[in-house]
Structure 1
Amino acid sequence: MKKFILHLVGALLILVNQTALANSSATEENADTRVSQQREYLLGPGDRVNIEVYGDEELTMKFTIDKRGGVNFPYIGYVQLTGRTTEEIELDMEARLKADYMLDPMVTVQMNSFRKFFITGEVEDPDGYEYEPQLTVEKAIALAGGFTDRADRDDINIRPSGSTELQENVNLTDAVYPGDVVIVEQSFF
């Protein structure tokens, strides 16, 4: 009888250990999913950037990305910036400058200011606000002064930039991107 109880306790300990490992693995997967949801920032019209060519002060400039999505840069002409990361632009500009103008150019592209996201509905100060990296719905609401007394905290939607579709009932931890519209609905009770 003692052997049976010892085997039963041993089997239960193994089962508990496997369950704990499975739960920690699922938690790690959820964390990985949240991190992967934060995509790299892609430039767009209205963003302001500083472009610096090391060693050539005349080629160090500040630009606001135009409605077509780019800027005119000396020697190489129009450079498309929209939909690209700063690193991609640096590599492109270095290659274009190296092709005809410079021996070994080093280009740095830095964000000066981000374009806006918008928040409407039942927040204290509905308006457009400058995007901030790692922006979430919760942070967006805080920037807008928080919820009003009539806000339905469980009915928050996002209309992604350039889309007609509405992401309904989003979580406070969901990401917000430039050009997105966050909508906080009114509570009826």
Structure 2
Amino acid sequence: MNKKSKVGFQSVLNIIFRGLLVFVLSLQYALAAAPEASAAIPAYVIGPGDVLNINVWKEEGLQQEVLIRPDGGMSFPLAGDIKAGGKSVEQLQKLLSSKIKRYIPDPVVTVSVRQIQNNKIFVVGKVNRSGEYIGSAYIDVMQALAMAGGLNAYASSNNIRILRRVNGKVKSILFEYSEVASGAELHQNIILKSGDVVVVP
């Protein structure tokens, strides 16, 4: 192998090595970030308008589709009238089991959300399609802005506010679009809660 061939071969090896190094580092970062990302996602909270599928194993008469009333309540055979709003799916399963086990030993209750109607968010201001949006269980700010058609040309992108009602008081949360889009302030891209209002000045 002549000198020129050796140099060319070494260059190819260097490129391959660098590519493998980037891949390994990216994989390590993804694996390290995965538990943190999953831990940040809260459990879905059942609310008015949601439609649930509720099944008690091996009990044909206890398999129903249930609509959550505006007051957050629902009715189910052997359990009576119970408060489902504000509970997670797991919490509701446990509550139903505790009620039904008075009549059926060791009931296996399964609850699933068939239709989400409770997760309403609002995007107002200088976006292309302001209004009310019903989304899946987890919608972050960037996704909400995309649903609203994005910012218009007059939007103050780094002064967006999320208004959230907590214990009767309104909390204002800053969202800087350009900073999040560049990857600098990703923690601002929070998961929105039902009733949140995204205000784009």
Which bin holds the TM-score, normalised by the shorter protein? 0.7 to 0.9
Structure 1 residue identity aligned to 2:115:
S
> Match for residue 169 of structure 1?
174
Whole-Å Cα distance in 1 between the matches of residues 55 and 104 of structure 2? 14
Q: Which residue of 1 aligns with 2:93?
A: 90
Distance apart, 1:130 and its partner CA: 1.6
Aligned length: 157
Query: What residue is the counterpart of 1:179 in the other structure?
Result: 195
Counterpart residue number, 1:13: none
- Give the aligned partner of residue 155 of structure 2: 151
- After TM superposition, where is structure 1 displaced by more than 6 Å over at least 4 residues in a row? none
**TM-score, normalised relative to structure 1:** 0.72
Residue 62 (1) aligns with residue 70 (2) = no
State the partner residue of 2:115. Answer: 113
Which piece of structure 1 moves more, 34-43 or 80-89? Answer: 34-43
Amino acid at match of 2:135: Y
Q: Find the counterpart in structure 2 of residue 39 from structure 1.
A: 42
Contact 1:159 / 1:180 at 8 angstroms: preserved in 2?
Answer: yes
Percent identity, aligned pairs only, is 28
Matched, 1:131 2:135: yes
Q: Which runs of 5+ in 2 are unaligned?
A: 1-31, 181-188
Q: How far apart are 1:132 and its partner, in Å?
A: 2.0
Q: Any stretches of 5+ residues in structure 1 without a counterpart?
A: 1-27
Matching residue of 1:71: 74
Q: TM-score, normalised by structure 2?
A: 0.68
Q: Secondary structure in 1 aligned to 2:156? A: strand
Contact 2:161 2:198 in 1 (8 A): yes
Q: CA RMSD in A?
A: 2.5
**What's the offset of the Cα at 1:50?**
1.4
Distance 1:134 1:51, change over 3 A: same
What amino acid is the match of 1:82? G
CA shift digits 1:33-54 (9 cap, x unpaired): x655432222122222211122
For the 8 Å contact 1:161–1:178, the answer to whether it is kept is no
Deviation per residue, 1:17-40 (Å, 9 max, x gap)? xxxxxxxxxxx79x84x6554322
